[in-house]
């Protein structure tokens, strides 16, 4: 059973924002936001086509319009208006919040970049391992150039050696010169004379360029902040510090959205305030904020080498889409905790639930339209809503139970009855009805809803135990599908003793064997369970599947080497 149905009449809560991620990611594709995005994309394509790189200023203005529209979505969502559109909204007129939020992000990036550059300079000067990484990258990037210099140096050294040899020969010849009686020089004959004649080939040569020195490479090729190596060479504590500082970003966006105050948004005390009000939900919002905002920044800088007519619209489309998703999510989170944050809303929780939740409001175009749609289709809903508005919870319970007099296991009526019992506040009655609720869902073949219902009953009383054997197998299968293996095994524990000769015993054992093998890696235990099923329940419908699973498991185990 979905959480949306279960909490329908619960006064103090609505579905948490982290359960509604599909709604946020689909919101920009509604008619209003979609038309806005398409207009920005078309304008970006036009600016890239007609203005080329000169269209950068227009692109920045379009990004500002996108962020401005996103702030309006945040405002509407924070008030419970999940249609996300307002006839009073206009893109024109003074609006400084996008610029202020952009400045906050720029300051965050500047702090990280400046601190990172300072640390990198220090590490390059003192850390030899860092130096070697830069040198290795230089050698890899300039491999052809270095190889050519080595060849030039090798050729130079050969020529220098030959030149040195000629110079030595010249010296030997000079030492053997004879002088005539009249003092004139006489050259020797033969090979020495020939060697002496080639002394003119001896020349001075400038050595080839040896390339930059180690110090020059470290200075000239230091990685910039746009280089992946820059991030790799930073110390771990810098990332921890930046992660802590990033906790301020969602708080700053909220303060700017609600109060339009830049310097107040820089106060870290707001993080403490929002954390106290929202609890762990703030950290969930923070994680999603970093993920989506980071993706948005990447989108704005993507396709660096693409033609501007292509790059501009792609970047604008992605950035606008992600911005709308992020601000819709922040707005919903503010609405979820508006009581703790003392925020004014236009649609209270009761109206929100009566309307059918955020999706129904968005689809209908307003909370009032959604409520009217619900009232016009469901007479019982109208009666129950009136009784709850008057504080008559027991009467509302009686109204629903009256319709169940011919079928107490009706799954839809039990779905409605459970939140009323929760609202009534009698835990014993709520848990007693829980048994009936589970039986109705299991009988209707709605195992996934039965599992969701069981989790809610366990939240009320962790010792809650299912009393109907027909509930166990479909609910345990749903639990296993959602990888809630502890709950599945808890349901199946001692099933044959609690429900002797039940028709689902073989199926429950088979499920336990599959969990033991596939999740717990207890293959031998699984084989024992499967053999018990085939021995005691050979005629059950599940037996052929058990036999096949057993043969496969035995074959796999036979090929597995025994550890020494």
Residue-level pLDDT at 511:
92
Stretch 310-318: mean pLDDT: 84
| pLDDT classification of 232: cutoffs 50, 70, 90 | confident
Residue-level pLDDT at 487:
92
* Nearest C-alpha neighbor of 14 from the set 450, 442, 353, 303: 353
Note down the domain range covering 219.
113-176+188-238
Residue-level pLDDT at 383:
80
Do 25 and 82 share a domain, yes or no? yes
Determine the Cα–Cα distance for residues 170 and 262; give it in Å rounded to an integer: 84
Do 205 and 142 share a domain, yes or no? yes
- Contacts within 8 Å (CB) and 24+ apart, 512-519: 513/546, 513/549, 514/480, 514/549, 515/480, 515/485, 515/488, 515/489, 517/553, 519/483, 519/485
- Alpha-carbon dihedral sign for residues 228, 234, 237, 243: negative
The answer to whether residue 192 sits within a structural domain is yes
Cβ-based neighbours of 84, under 8 Å, separated by 6 or more? 27, 30, 32, 33, 73, 76, 77, 328, 362
pLDDT at position 440 over 90: yes
Least confident span in 98-102, 206-210, 220-224, 434-438: 206-210
Do 269 and 318 share a domain, yes or no? yes
Last residue in a domain, options 292, 312, 343: 343
Do 211 and 326 share a domain, yes or no? no
Residue-level pLDDT at 248:
92
Do 126 and 233 share a domain, yes or no? yes
DSSP alpha helices (H): ranges in 337-466?
A: 338-341, 349-355, 358-364, 367-377, 379-389, 393-403, 411-424, 427-443, 447-460
pLDDT mean across residues, the chain: 83
| pLDDT classification of 90: cutoffs 50, 70, 90 | confident
Do 137 and 229 share a domain, yes or no? yes
* Nearest C-alpha neighbor of 315 from the set 142, 59, 486: 59
**Can you name the residues that pair with 186 across neighbouring β-strands?**
178
The answer to whether residue 268 sits within a structural domain is yes
Stretch 91-95: mean pLDDT: 76
| pLDDT classification of 11: cutoffs 50, 70, 90 | very low
Determine the Cα–Cα distance for residues 230 and 223; give it in Å rounded to an integer: 5
Please state, in angstroms and as integers, the Cα–Cα distance from residue 431 to each residue in 104, 167, 434, following that order.
50, 108, 5
pLDDT at position 307 over 60: yes
The answer to whether residue 373 sits within a structural domain is no
* Nearest C-alpha neighbor of 224 from the set 137, 324, 352: 137
Residue-level pLDDT at 290:
86
Residue-level pLDDT at 205:
64
Pairing of strands 185-186, 178-179: antiparallel
Do 195 and 265 share a domain, yes or no? no
Q: 207 or 546: whose pLDDT is higher?
A: 546
Please answer whether residues 48 and 42 qualify as being in contact, where contact means their C-beta atoms are separated by less than 8 angstroms.
Answer: no
pLDDT digit string, tens, across residues 118-138: 998 888 888 888 888 888 888
Residue-level pLDDT at 200:
47
pLDDT at position 52 over 70: no
Do 118 and 228 share a domain, yes or no? yes
The alpha carbon torsion through 502, 507, 508, 509 (nearest 10 deg) reads 110
| pLDDT classification of 329: cutoffs 50, 70, 90 | very high
Residue-level pLDDT at 5:
34
Least confident span in 66-70, 290-294, 451-455, 525-529: 290-294
Stretch 521-530: mean pLDDT: 90
Last residue in a domain, options 301, 326, 343: 343
Q: 90 or 477: whose pLDDT is higher?
A: 477
Last residue in a domain, options 295, 322, 343: 343
Residue-level pLDDT at 29:
93
The alpha carbon torsion through 343, 88, 256, 344 (nearest 10 deg) reads 0
The answer to whether residue 247 sits within a structural domain is no
The answer to whether residue 26 sits within a structural domain is yes
Instruction: Copy the structure tokens of residue 530.
Output: 């499967």
Nearest 5 degrees, angle CA 487-CA 493-CA 495?
120
Please state, in angstroms and as integers, the Cα–Cα distance from residue 198 to each residue in 169, 175, 205, 361, following that order.
10, 16, 17, 100
Q: What is the pTM of this model?
A: 0.58
* Number of residues that make up the chain: 564
Give how many domains the chain has, as a whole number: 3
| pLDDT classification of 436: cutoffs 50, 70, 90 | very high
Instruction: Copy the structure tokens of residue 497.
Output: 């003793």
Cβ-based neighbours of 402, under 8 Å, separated by 6 or more? none
Residue-level pLDDT at 365:
86
pLDDT at position 419 over 90: no
The answer to whether residue 435 sits within a structural domain is no
Do 195 and 312 share a domain, yes or no? no
| pLDDT classification of 512: cutoffs 50, 70, 90 | very high
Residue-level pLDDT at 9:
35
The answer to whether residue 172 sits within a structural domain is yes
DSSP 8-state symbol, 306: S
pLDDT at position 199 over 60: no
pLDDT at position 174 over 90: no
The answer to whether residue 376 sits within a structural domain is no
Please answer whether residues 226 and 144 qualify as being in contact, where contact means their C-beta atoms are separated by less than 8 angstroms.
Answer: no
| pLDDT classification of 34: cutoffs 50, 70, 90 | very high
Q: Which residue has the tokens 């009581």?
A: 339
pLDDT digit string, tens, across residues 444-456: 999 999 999 999 9
Do 234 and 275 share a domain, yes or no? no
pLDDT at position 475 over 90: yes
Q: Which helix (H) or strand (E) holds 225?
A: none
**What is the DSSP track for 357-389?**
SHHHHHHHSSHHHHHHHHHHH-HHHHHHHHHHH
Residue-level pLDDT at 149:
83
Do 122 and 223 share a domain, yes or no? yes
| pLDDT classification of 478: cutoffs 50, 70, 90 | very high
Do 266 and 331 share a domain, yes or no? yes
Stretch 187-192: mean pLDDT: 49
Stretch 235-264: mean pLDDT: 91
pLDDT at position 178 over 60: no
């Amino acid at each position: 059973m979905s959480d949306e149905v279960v909490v329908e009449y619960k006064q103090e809560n609505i579905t948490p924002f982290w359960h509604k991620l599909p709604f946020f990611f689909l919101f920009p594709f509604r008619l209003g936001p979609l038309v806005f995005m398409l207009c920005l994309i078309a304008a970006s394509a036009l600016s890239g086509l007609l203005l080329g790189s000169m269209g950068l200023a227009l692109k920045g203005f379009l990004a500002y319009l996108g962020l401005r529209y996103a702030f309006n979505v945040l405002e509407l969502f924070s008030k419970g208006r999940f249609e996300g559109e307002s006839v009073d909204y206009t893109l024109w007129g003074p609006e400084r919040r996008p610029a202020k939020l952009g400045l906050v992000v720029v300051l965050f990036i500047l702090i990280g970049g400046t601190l990172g550059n300072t640390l990198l300079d220090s590490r390059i000067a003192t850390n030899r391992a860092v130096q070697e990484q830069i040198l290795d990258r230089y050698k890899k990037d300039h491999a052809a150039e270095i190889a050519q210099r080595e060849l030039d140096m090798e050729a130079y050294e050969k020529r220098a050696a030959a030149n040195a040899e000629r110079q030595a020969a010249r010296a030997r010849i000079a030492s053997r010169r004879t002088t005539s009686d009249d003092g004139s020089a006489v050259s020797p004959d033969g090979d020495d004379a020939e060697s002496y004649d080639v002394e003119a080939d001896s020349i001075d040569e400038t050595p080839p360029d040896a390339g930059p020195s180690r110090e020059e490479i470290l200075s000239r090729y230091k990685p910039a902040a746009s280089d992946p190596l820059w991030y790799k060479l930073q110390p771990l504590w810098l990332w921890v510090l930046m992660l802590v500082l990033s906790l301020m970003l969602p708080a700053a966006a909220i303060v700017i959205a609600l109060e339009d105050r830049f310097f107040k948004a820089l106060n870290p005390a707001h993080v403490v305030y929002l954390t106290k009000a929202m609890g762990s939900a703030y950290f969930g919002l923070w994680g999603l904020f970093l993920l989506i905002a980071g993706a948005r920044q990447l989108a704005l800088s993507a396709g660096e080498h693409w033609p501007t007519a292509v790059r501009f619209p792609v970047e604008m489309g992605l950035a606008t889409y992600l911005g709308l998703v992020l601000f819709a999510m922040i707005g919903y989170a503010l609405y979820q905790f508006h009581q703790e944050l003392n925020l004014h809303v236009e649609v209270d929780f009761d109206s929100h639930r009566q309307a059918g939740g955020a999706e129904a409001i968005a689809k209908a175009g307003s909370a009032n339209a959604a409520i009217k749609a619900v009232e016009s289709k469901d007479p019982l809903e109208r009666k129950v809503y009136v009784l709850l508005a008057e504080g008559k919870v027991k009467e509302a319970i009686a109204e629903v139970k009256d319709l169940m007099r011919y079928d107490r296991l009706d799954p839809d009526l039990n779905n409605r009855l459970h939140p009323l019992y929760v609202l009534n506040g009698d835990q014993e009655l709520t848990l007693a009805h829980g048994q009936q609720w589970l039986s109705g869902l299991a009988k209707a073949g709605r195992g996934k809803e039965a599992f969701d219902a069981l989790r809610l009953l366990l939240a009320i009383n962790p010792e809650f135990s299912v009393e109907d054997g027909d509930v166990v197998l479909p609910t345990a299968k749903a639990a296993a599908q959602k990888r809630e293996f502890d709950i599945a095994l808890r349901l199946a524990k001692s099933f044959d003793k609690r429900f002797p000769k039940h028709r689902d015993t073989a199926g429950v054992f088979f499920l336990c064997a599959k969990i033991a093998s596939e999740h717990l890696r207890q293959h031998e235990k699984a084989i024992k369970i499967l053999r018990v099923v085939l021995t005691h329940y050979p005629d059950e419908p599940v037996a052929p599947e058990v036999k096949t699973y057993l043969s496969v498991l035995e074959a796999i185990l036979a090929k597995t080497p025994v550890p020494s």
